[in-house]
Every structure is written in C-alpha cells, then in structure tokens.
Amino acid sequence: MTNKRPLSCEKRHYVHSASLCLAVMGLAASPIYAQPVTFSEALDLAEEKAPGIQARGLQIEAAQSEAIAADQLPDPKLSVDLLDTRIAGPFEFSPRPGRNGFPRQRIGISQDVPSIAKRRARAEQASADIIAAEAGKKDEIQNVRLYSALAWVDLYYAHRRLNILKILQDSLDDLTNTVASRLESGYSRPAQAFDPERLTAELADRRARREADVEIAKATLSRWIRIESPEIAGKAPEFELDREALLTSLELLPLLQIREARVKRAEADVDLARAGKNIDYSINASYAHRRPEYGEYVSVGVTINLPIFAKKRQNPRIAASMLKSEAERLRLEDLRRQLIAELQSDLASNRAYKENWLRSQNTLLPLAKKQAEMDRISYAAGRIDLGTALNAAVVFAEAEIDLLDRERTFVRDTVRIKFTYDRNLP
C-alpha cells in the first residue's frame, strides 16, 4: 500500500488557480445564445434601459428641488461682539474686572428681505429650468427610440442581404455541378471551368463584408437594448407619412420645447433685472450686556438699499437682459423654420426613395428574373456557355440586392422621419 503525500501549500494554490482558469475559459467558450427581439420590443427595451433617460430624470428632480428654494428668503445672519473696548482717549485704571477689558457683549440677528418682484422672478427662472429639464428628457427618449429603431432596421436588412448571397451561392453550386459533364460533351471550353471558382471567391468576399455588416448592426442594437447577441424577430415596420399631421406635430417636438423654455428663462431674467430697481431691506435686532451699573440694551433696526444710481447700474442690466431675451426668441423662430424646411426636404427625398423602390420591385427585378430564367433554360439546352449562365445568375442576385437596398433606404428613411418629427408615437 502506497502512502500519498499531501500537497504542499504552493501546489494546492497552483491546482486551485489552474482549475479557476479552466472554469473561466469554459465560460468564455460557452456560446452566447441569441435572443430574438421584435421592432416594438427593441424600442421598449431601449427606453427602459437607457442610462441617458435615467440621467434626464435625475435632472428633473434636481430642478424641482432647486425650485423649492428659489423664492424663499435668504438665511438669517447671526452676529456676536465679544470685544468692545476703548483704544483711544483717557484711560482709567480699575482693579475691577471688565472695566476696560470687556465692558460689553452683544449678540444680534438680521434677516434680508428681497423684494417680492425679485422672489417672483427667481421662481419663474426655476419654473423655466424644470420645463427645460422635462423637455430634455422627452428629447432623450425620442433619440433613444430613434437610434434603436434604426439599429433594428439595419440588422433586419443586413440579415436579408446575407441570405440573398447564400441563395446565389446555392445557384452557383448547381451550375458548377454541370461543368464536368459539359466539358466532356464539348459544350464548354476548358478555360470556362475556372469561372465558378472565380465567382465563388468573389462571392466569398462579398459575404465576408455582409457578415461584418451583421455584426456591426448587432453591436449597435446591443448598445441600445442591452442584449448581448440580439436577433431579429418579426417583420419590418410599416409607417405612413402624413405631411399635414407631421407639420402640426412640429410644435410638440422636445427641441422646440427646450428652446421655448430658454425664452421663458430669458424673460424671467428680464423681470429679475427690472426688480433690481425695487427696494430691498433688512431687519435686525440685537441684545447687549454691560456691567450691572450700566444695564442691558435691546435694539431693533432696519437697513434699506437705495437704488438711486439706476442709470449706470440697473438700467444697463435691464437692457442687456432684454437683448438676450430677444435673441432667444429669434433663435426659437429660426429653429422652427429650420425644422419645417428639413421636414419638407425629408418628405421630398422619401417620395423619391419610395418611387425608386417600387420601380425596382415592379420593373427591374422582374426583368432580371425573366432574363435569368431564360439564360438558365438556354444553358440547359446547350445554346449558351457556362460563363453567360453564371453571369445571369449574378445579375439576378445583384438585382435582388439592389431592390433590397432600395427598400432598406426607403424604410429606414421613413422610420427616421416618423421618429424625428412625430410626437404621437406610443
């Protein structure tokens, strides 16, 4: 019977580390199962898990919290005087403590009271900040839904383009299987035997690019919906663009609401500058204690600011605030005109994309399909060579890809317009 020696500490540590590394490698090598996501599910997931939306919500809470204190009175001030002694004049020595050292102690409190107009203007500023924060959250939600929608559409069509190339590969394989028999029968020249291999290599290059497009689209969609390996489920969305409805909903866009909040904030700044001409005052009260033979004192007073130099102080500030307010109004009008022009331009481009897609669907692709079928029949009958038949198959596949690209351009542009300008979306 052999005795097994116990492992040393170093060996036990090595075995434990090796086991841990193997376990981690096993987890890393394990496949990440894809999760199918529909278009609407992708939008809901993106809105639910977007950190930017959560950050905007916190900004709203911060603005609401600041609004509570916006129109409140400032904190009162406490003053304490401990040393009140003479530093000039006749000096009289006295052994009694406090005669010339600390003859008086004083404690007082004061409260500044800004004018009601200033407090109201500050409340309006805080209200404008809340409106801007709420509009900022709406804008963030709109952007998240827009970008996640475009990412889903990109992945959907990337998969479909890749599938077309796979079908083309099968078609080339069918034609390649006939090369040997046609060479033996003399219907094809020996040099044509290399055509399938050349086209297969070119097709492999295109498939590699399309597979990269799929991975890129997956990574982009994963960034928004927080799913490691998303897959497409369901069909592409279908939206109808109503020009009049989109123009009407422009006023509800968060971008305009943010700009309108800035205008409101600028108007509140004007009110605050004008309130600088109003009188502010401060109330103060104090209690003073001296030696018993001098007694104790209570004093109450009021301090009033006098805005008597308005020409060089308040008036320039009011003028500057009014100019800034007018500039914000002009920026709002400029943004409104810009959005209207961009919408009209986008709708015109969208109509062109739709016409191109329908033309390819109704005319170009059917012609390419008929040509490919006729060339295949002619090749089977021996009336055309292999190269012509292969090129016909490639041309038909390219027509399908062209149709798909036109469809993707139209659908993607429609989704972009819908999620950019329409505020009636769920």
pLDDT at 391 > cutoff 70: no
Measure CA of the first residue to CA of the last residue in the chain; give whole Å: 78
pLDDT at 401 > cutoff 90: no
> Using CA atoms, how far apart are residues 160 and 164, in angstroms rounded to an integer?
6
Lowest average pLDDT, out of 48-57, 154-163, 365-374, goes to 365-374
pLDDT attached to residue 364:
80
pLDDT attached to residue 371:
74
> Using CA atoms, how far apart are residues 248 and 266, in angstroms rounded to an integer?
26
pLDDT at 25 > cutoff 60: no
CB-based contact 165:207 (threshold 8 Å): yes
Q: Quick one: which H or E segment has residue 262?
A: helix 254-274
* 79, β-bridge pairs: 108
At 275, the pLDDT band (50, 70, 90 cuts) reads very high
> Using CA atoms, how far apart are residues 159 and 148, in angstroms rounded to an integer?
17
Among 80-84, 193-197, 309-313, 396-400, top mean pLDDT goes to: 309-313
SS3 breakdown of the chain: % helix, strand, coil, rounded to 5?
70, 10, 20
Whose CA is closest to 59, among 133, 139, 143, 142?
Answer: 133
Of the two residues 17 and 346, the one the predictor is more confident about is 346
At 18, the pLDDT band (50, 70, 90 cuts) reads very low
Q: Are strands 281-290 and 296-304 parallel, antiparallel or unpaired?
A: antiparallel
Query: For 87-114, what is each residue's pLDDT tens digit?
Result: 665 555 555 544 554 567 889 999 999 9
Q: How far is CA 124 from CA 36, 44, 362, in A?
A: 48, 35, 59
pLDDT at 308 > cutoff 80: yes
pLDDT attached to residue 22:
36
CB-based contact 365:334 (threshold 8 Å): no
Q: Provide the residue type at 126 as one letter.
A: A
Tokens found for residue 160: 């479909």
Contacts of 16 (CB under 8 A, 6+ apart): none
Half-sphere exposure of 27 (CA within 13 A, CB side): 5
| Percentage of the chain modeled with pLDDT above 90 | 50
What is the mean pLDDT of the segment spanning 127-151? 94
Q: How far is CA 231 from CA 33, 40, 43, 209, 411, in A?
A: 10, 13, 14, 19, 19
What is the mean pLDDT of the segment spanning 213-223? 92
pTM: predicted TM-score of the whole model, two decimal places:
0.76
pLDDT at 165 > cutoff 70: yes
- Angle of helix 116-176 versus helix 195-225 axis, rounded to 10: 160
pLDDT at 11 > cutoff 70: no
> Using CA atoms, how far apart are residues 367 and 354, in angstroms rounded to an integer?
19
Lowest average pLDDT, out of 53-67, 107-121, 196-210, goes to 196-210
How far from the centroid of its chain's Cα atoms is residue 146's Cα? 9
- Angle of helix 39-49 versus helix 116-176 axis, rounded to 10: 140
Of the two residues 104 and 402, the one the predictor is more confident about is 402
pLDDT at 394 > cutoff 60: yes
CB-based contact 133:59 (threshold 8 Å): yes
What is the DSSP annotation of 380-403? HTTSS-HHHHHHHHHHHHHHHHHH
What is the mean pLDDT of the segment spanning 351-366? 89
pLDDT attached to residue 363:
85
Beta strands in 275-384 (DSSP E): 281-290, 296-304
Phi (first) and psi of residue 297, to 5 degrees: -130, 145
CB-based contact 302:261 (threshold 8 Å): no
Among 33-47, 95-109, 280-294, 346-360, top mean pLDDT goes to: 346-360
Phi (first) and psi of residue 230, to 5 degrees: -75, 150
What is the mean pLDDT of the segment spanning 389-417? 85
Q: Quick one: which H or E segment has residue 232?
A: strand 230-232
What is the mean pLDDT of the segment spanning 362-368? 81
pLDDT at 233 > cutoff 60: yes
Instruction: Determine the 3-state secondary structure of 110 from DSSP.
Output: strand
Tokens found for residue 319: 């003028």
Segments in 287-385 forming alpha helices (H)? 314-359, 365-380
pLDDT attached to residue 329:
96
* 406, β-bridge pairs: none
Q: How far is CA 334 from CA 259, 330, 418, in A?
A: 10, 6, 22
At 171, the pLDDT band (50, 70, 90 cuts) reads low
Tokens found for residue 87: 């530093």
